[in-house]
Structure 1
Amino acid sequence: VAGSLFAALCWAGALAEDRLVGEHGQAVLGCACKGGKGTHGYCGYHFHLGSQEAKPWCRTKFSCGKSGLQGSWAYCDAKGVERRRAQDGQLYTSKEFKEFYGKEGRDAWVTAAPYPERRLAGNQQAYNAFEFRDHYVDSWGEEGWIPMWTDAKPEARQAKDGKWWTWDEFVKFYDKKEAWKRWDEAKSSRSEL
């Protein structure tokens, strides 16, 4: 009964109308994610009891968006969701891991944590989606950083030959199995972070 009540409350929250308000209670065009300061603060597919969303979402600032038992939330742009490299060398979201691996999806997602998608920001540092957002969001806003992310070059690492190669270039030069090893050994622009 408690589980049914919880599910019903979550369903009612999902149907609630968005409350679009900003820091000072003013009407706003859209909500801002909380970011790293809170649980589920970044845009993503947050799989937990009562949430099996088909669209990514985040906890929001200023009680903006939909009201829920654990605070306000809003759907967000899937282009800003974290992706990780799976064993096949391709990048997938947590939702895609779950769809492909089924019950083992969560474990596969956790195992892939050392291999997040990273892209180069204007300072030539390789950031994952959350770090990239944090780097740009204050100047460009919640929606403004997304095109910068999608347009940014993928992370490159310095191989033993001194050249900077992307993951795809490592795979092209080495076989896939050897590429994993060489990628791990290569110098990252993150070495200075």
Structure 2
Amino acid sequence: MFFYLFMTKLVCTLGTSPGGIFETYKNLRGGNYEVDKTIANATPIEINEVYVIRTSDKAVEFAWKLVKAIFACCREKGDEVTIADIPIPIQDITSPNDFKKFKNAILPKISVGDYVDFTGGRKAMSVAAALSAREVGAHVVTTIIPQGEYSGISKIIEELKGKEDLVERAGNGDCESIRDTICKLISNEAKTIMLY
């Protein structure tokens, strides 16, 4: 008898805010998401890898550093996950060619059965991610953060822009001096929805 171990990935788009990526990860792992009952029941999903697909814009690069810090400082002990930064060499999606570049970059990162979160970034990034997921046979998910909470998170992000060195150190596991602030970037009211 053979046992096959496969790695389930969460592939996420990222904009200028880290909002949604950790929440999607946490909600999928905890079975805390909504799904159409005709498709399946919500059950905990073991996520082994998180791929963050983003543009190379400076503000988005800072959002990546925040995501990395959140995963390093705020996840539960015993949660083992690999996080990969996948920057696309464009500043923004402003043309059909940029859209194609982004879609061509995200498509090979997705496998059948993976989970693709299209919450972050431009609408064109979300479309590219969702189309790619459907093309490959991956699940499509999104996480909604209440507007009031999102506004508070945005203020914390602005404060952290002056502490980039601390954020970067936190991303490498040196969390002590900034953990409380970094973990306030996580929405406890976030709602994850699996669409397919």
Same fold, TM exceeding 0.5?
no
TM-score (norm 1): 0.23
TM-score (norm 2): 0.23
The structure number with the bigger radius of gyration is: 1
Structure ranking higher on relative contact order (CA contacts 8 Å, 6+ apart): 2
